[in-house]
Amino acid sequence: MSDLTLIIGNKNYSSWSLRPWIFMKTAGIEFAEKRVALGTDQTKTQLEPYFSDHKVPVLVDGDFIVWDSLAILEYITGKFPDCGGWPVDPEARAVARSVSAEMHSSFFELRENLPMNCRKKFTSFSPSSGAQKDIDRIKAVWRYCKQYFPNKGPWLFGDFSIADAMFAPVCFRFYSYGVNLDGSEKEYVKSMLSLLHIIEWGKAAKLEKEVLEYAEVRQ
């Protein structure tokens, strides 16, 4: 029996929380989930015990904690070596790490201009030029993976991997803000948003009542 608890933020807004959550769900790893609503008077106190600088996600494994979405995913891969975290082929694994690290450390305009908001569906949204550059780069990254590591399935490196988990929030963003997509990128986003656990996350997000003004884009 697993003793893992994943501390997450609001499902509607917390893109970082979604990454380890969707990977662990997809890999069939059992865990309990504890949601801490962000931006409330209690948030700081509720996150105080985890040494994460009051940020989510945090993974609690017994009396051990690890924070930061990518670090959690690495920890899970170490703990469950058969979970398919990284591709087995060394070149595919290296590129999967490259694109995951890039997703983790870049695309600031996209984060700012198109914050994850699963409840929202814009019909005519124009990204800023910086956000559009980020969008174009993400699309190029996906095409690159598909070109150099061809596989029949929908995912970047064959089986669903950490790299796909890292891009899951971007798929919600592309859908919500009506980002123009074609060909394989369109298929990729469609496949991601059709995953049962992504549907589950989206439904839970829609039931949440909190509104974080800083993450609400007004048209």
Ligand X SMILES: N[C@@H](CCC(=O)N[C@@H](CS)C(=O)NCC(=O)O)C(=O)O
Interface residues with ligand X (CB under 6 A) are: 9, 14-17, 38-39, 43, 54-57, 68-70
Cβ proximity of 37 and 187 under 8 Å: no
CB 100 to ligand X: min, Å: 11
CB 182 to ligand X: min, Å: 29
CB 106 to ligand X: min, Å: 12
Decide whether 163 or 181 has the Cβ nearer to ligand X. 163
Decide whether 29 or 184 has the Cβ nearer to ligand X. 29
CB 11 to ligand X: min, Å: 11
For the residues of 168-197, what is the DSSP string, one character each?
A: HHHHHHHHHTT----HHHHHHHHHHHHSHH
CB 148 to ligand X: min, Å: 26
Decide whether 56 or 195 has the Cβ nearer to ligand X. 56
The one-letter amino acid code at 163 reads A
Cβ proximity of 162 and 85 under 8 Å: yes
Peptide bond into 49 cis (omega under 30): no
Decide whether 37 or 193 has the Cβ nearer to ligand X. 37
Decide whether 87 or 115 has the Cβ nearer to ligand X. 115
CB 195 to ligand X: min, Å: 20
State the Cα–Cα distance between residues 91 and 117, nearest whole angstrom.
34
Strand ranges, E, within the chain:
4-8, 32-35, 58-61, 64-67
Cβ proximity of 109 and 130 under 8 Å: yes
State the Cα–Cα distance between residues 35 and 90, nearest whole angstrom.
36
Decide whether 44 or 190 has the Cβ nearer to ligand X. 44
Checking DSSP bridges between strand 4-8 and strand 58-61, what pairing results, if any?
antiparallel
